[in-house]
Structure 1
Amino acid sequence: MTHAAHRKDTIAAVATPSGQGGVGIIRLSGAASHAIAKRLFHASSDKFSDFKPYTLHHGQLKDADGNVLDDVLTAYMPGPDSFTGEDVVEFNCHGGQAILASVLEECLNAGARLAQKGEFTLRAFLNGRMDLTQAEAVAEMIHAPTRAAAHMAQIKHSGLLGATIAELRTQLEGLRSQLCIAVDFPEEELECLSPEQLVTQSSQVRARMNELLAAVERTKAWREGALVVLAGMVNAGKSSLMNALLGRDRAIVTDVPGTTRDYIEETLDLDGLRVRLADTAGMRESDDTVELAGMTISRELMEQADLVLFVVDNSATIADENVDACLTLDPGKTIAVMNKVDCIAAEPQPWKIFKRYMFELVKVSAKTGKNLDKLTATMRARLLAGQEQPDPDELVPNARQAAALKQACTELEAMETDATGGVPYDLLGVRLETACSKLDAITGTISSDEVLNAIFDDFCIGK
């Protein structure tokens, strides 16, 4: 997709998720939106002559042959005061896939083009309705895994992050101006920044950038959710524990060892913290190719996990495989779960191996539910590492924005070192210019087609 010139054609797409639902929306944007809507829409009121902006009109959509497509509510939002900055029409249809497909097809027959991924939001950005941080926040709101993540995205969508970045850039531009005065008018008796003053003011801007970067790591679990992996030997009760945590039967549970060959993943809500809970294939000696492949996946997931629940059967003697596994686990991201405490404990008691290797231990019964609340509380505490829910006004850059901030910080730090070492002001100005360009990339003041493609290709069609 090329963004060098703003496209003037009219686009259309389904703006609601795929599948059946009570309501489905077809959205159009572009100069022909009004004309297409007038062509397809037949009002139920005899008094209707044209669309009143920002008002829902009831009627039917009909194809070129007069066949009724659906009974709808239609809204017309003229540009520039619309989401995209262009004329926008939305048909609120019934949510069946066949209905939406037929309405969309008729919009395309009437002269619209099928929208590409994120093209509505892209047009809003290109038309100056939002900066790039706000555009990215649209996708972040849609994909937010937690209420806290949605709120953080809403803060950015309000424009607060863009305004903060613009303010930092203004401060750096002020420093550049003073350096330019010193370079361009060396003979004049003008008051210029000393190297010490330059370093002080630059470090203040860099400190604010580092505050934004610190928020990225601090809020990661809230923004992205967390991966928790159930691991351990076969028949330890991992699948039963998963079902108990989910409150329903999701994993197959039998007395036959090795039932779980692949991994099963489900979502668990830990008091507002979204967790991807993965039940993996149990570890044991095996010649079964499929089972070995499952165990390989288990090990890979354990490496990727934010937290591992290493499950051991309280009623079974500790096996050498468990001892070997303990040696490879990181106690910092592992909770030892002693399952089946409702059964008679084996001798020697398996939990002693965990005590030896300093693992945090929780004893539970997946069958009776004993201590499951303690386990979930321990999981949540470990995943958050003492961090409470983010502040309501927390500004948190996404990965792309954080990368640009890091690059800007690197340039400022290098400039401060150069200034202390007596490097000429014109060379210091180059460092400042580069730092400013990195901030411009965050808000979209300077953005290549490649950057915009990478951002908007992650959007869904219709948004």
Structure 2
Amino acid sequence: MHHSDTIAAIATPLGQGGIGIIRISGPDAAAILQRLFRSSSASFAGFRPRFMHHGRIADASGELLDDVLAVHMPGPRTFTGEDVVEIHCHGGPAIVSAVLEAVFACGGRAADAGEFTKRAFLNGRMDLTQAEAVAEMIAAPVKSGVRLAQAKLDGMLGRRIAELRGRLELVRMKLCVAVDFPEEDIECLSPEEFLDDIASVREALAELLRNYERARCWREGVLVVLAGQVNAGKSSLMNGLLGRTRAIVTDIPGTTRDFLEEQLSFEGLPVRLVDTAGLRETGDIVEQEGVRISRDLASQADLVLLVVDARTGVGHAEEELVASVGADRVMVVLNKTDLVETIPVVPQGCAYVAVSAKKGEGLDTLVGMARAHVLSRREGGEPESGDLVPNLRQSRALRDAQDELEHLQQDIRLQLPYDILGVRLEAACAILSEITGETTPDDILNKIFESFCIGK
């Protein structure tokens, strides 16, 4: 599939930078570049494919806009499968915008979100799992997420899904023979062989789903909530873990009345760290709402860091929180231990760590223990390069395919006719085809690519 129009967009982040890249794709990409480009070489005789040319960009009126490097990459051996042009100019917002406007004036149109990758998919340069991996690589918060996306970008997941679908298609072929030639005395597929074939595919799908659950925290991050009474040192701890001042710290109780959220990494594990309002009885309506939100966030957290002032120890509010959340999801952080001689008792079943948030003591130990505590409650360790991990859309489709195959096994045991069994089998194959994009409806495709950034 080739498009009749030519799209253009800024491919680098907006804002000041050393370089800004404008990407153009479509049948008029080379013509647009020729109209705008003024080579700095007297011997310039046209664009060599995939070769950087130095020169200047001028707008339609002839005004020189910037010193640039430009490259023309003829299709179909490009990212989109079409003729592609890139203009590398200086990265100031005004410069990049001016060059893009000049491209539009020459016939290009603004690309939609994800349209470059969508064209790559529609032109057969990648399957849908690879297209989704592009967005996942860009959005990956830590290195492990990049590795997971890279395996899919290389096509490994798409090939695995295609292989499993091929095994089901082979069973379908045998069913078709049995349906089309019922009078022949040929055993095309015994019930035992049929069940074994389906069971092996179901187990392969289950393994992919286990990978999804195991890697979810590495791809999406974990929610870690700082909870505790007022003035226990939650905000100081948040600032210490971030390495900068994010939360206001004062001696006035109830300074934090809403929650603050920041992204950081616990030794490679992506974390959403949330500082919440202090737990206490109050007549202040706003603070009451803050306390309610604190308890609600704690109930959702993968890990609650219950910050306790070591001078006062654990009180009724902390014990109540542990009881509601569960000791296995709570790690007590005994703060201000530099001011005491003995460590107070913590609730039974809770792990604990002693720190001084104000002095920065014990924070590395806290990070390591928190990371280990979260991972201990999840199956498997850190994902490795080459692991095949489906995303949310893909995992839902895999579950749907598994459900069809489970019902198919039940129907086989009930000795239903082959033509009825074929309906279940066909449905499972169709679901797997949706994962790789061979039969994915347009509305799903549009939803996928609309989540991409402009310029990719």
> Would you say same fold, with TM above 0.5?
yes
Where do residues 117-132 of structure 1 align in structure 2 (5 Å cutoff)? Answer: 117-132=113-128
Residue 333 of structure 1 deviates from its aligned partner by 1.6
Q: Is the 8 A contact 1:146 1:225 kept in 2?
A: no
Counterpart residue number, 1:389 = 382
1:218 aligns with 2:211: no
The answer (yes or no) to whether the contact 2:147–2:385 under 8 Å persists in 1 is yes
Residue 354, structure 1, aligned to residue 354, structure 2? no
The Cα shift of 1:447 comes to 1.1
1:435 counterpart (425, 428, 432) = 428
**How high is the sequence identity, in percent, across the aligned residues?**
55
Structure 2: which amino acid aligns with 1:352? V
Q: How many residues align?
A: 454
- Where does structure 1 lack aligned partners over 5 or more consecutive residues? none
**Structure 2 residue 334 is matched with structure 1 residue 343:** no
Amino acid at match of 2:9: A
Deviations 1:62-94 (A, max 9, x none): 011111111111111111011000111011111
For residues 333 and 139 of structure 1, do their structure 2 counterparts lie closer, same or farther at Cα, with a shift above 3 Å needed? same
Query: Which residue does 2:327 correspond to in 1?
Result: 331
Cα displacement (A) at 1:252? 1.5
Report the Cα offset of residue 277 of structure 1. 1.4
Match of 1:99 among 95, 104, 129: 95
The SS at the match of 2:196 is helix
- Kindly report the root-mean-square deviation, in angstroms, between the aligned alpha carbons of the 2 structures: 1.6
Match 2:233 to one of 209, 214, 237: 237
| Stretch moving more, 183-192 or 405-414 | 183-192
- Deviation string 1:42-72 (CA, Å, 9 cap, x unpaired) is 1111111211111111111101111111111
Residue 380 (str. 1) matches residue 376 (str. 2): no
- Secondary structure of residue in 2 paired with 1:352: coil
Match of 1:75 among 71, 75, 80: 71
Range with greater deviation from structure 2 (17-26 or 240-249) = 240-249
Counterparts of 2:292 and 2:118, CA distance in 1: 42
Deviations 1:116-142 (A, max 9, x none): 000000000000000000000000000
- Normalising by structure 1, we get a TM-score of 0.95
Q: CA deviation at 1:296?
A: 3.0
User: 2:278: which partner in 1?
Assistant: 282
Give the counterpart of 2:356 among 356, 359, 365.
Answer: 365
String of CA shifts for 1:170-197, please: whole Å, max 9, x gaps.
1000000101111110111333101111
**CA deviation profile, 1:296-325 (whole Å, cap 9, x unmatched):** 332332233211101111112544323332
**2:5 maps to 1:12:** no
Once the two structures are superposed, what CA deviation does each residue of 1:183-227 show, in whole Å capped at 9, x if it has no partner? Answer: 110111333101111000110011111111100011112112212
Instruction: Tell me the CA shift for residue 431 of structure 1.
Output: 0.5
Alignment of 1:446 with 2:439, yes or no, is: yes
Q: How does 1:144-293 map to 2 (within 5 A)?
A: 144-293=140-289
* Structure 1 residues 270-293: Cα deviation after superposition (integer angstroms, max 9, x where no partner): 222121211111122223233233
8 Å contact 2:302–2:374 — kept in the other structure? Answer: yes
The 3-state SS of whatever aligns with 1:315 is coil
The residue aligned with 1:421 is: 414
- The residue type paired with residue 150 of structure 1 is V
When normalised by structure 2's length, the TM-score is: 0.96
SS of structure 2 residue aligned to 1:342 = helix
C-alpha distance in 2 between matches for 1:147 and 1:317: 39
Structure-2 residue corresponding to 1:56: 52
1:353 Cα shift? 4.9
Structure 1 segments (4+ residues) deviating >4 Å? none
Distance 1:293 1:14 in 2: 43
| Structure 2 spans left out of the alignment, 5+ residues | none
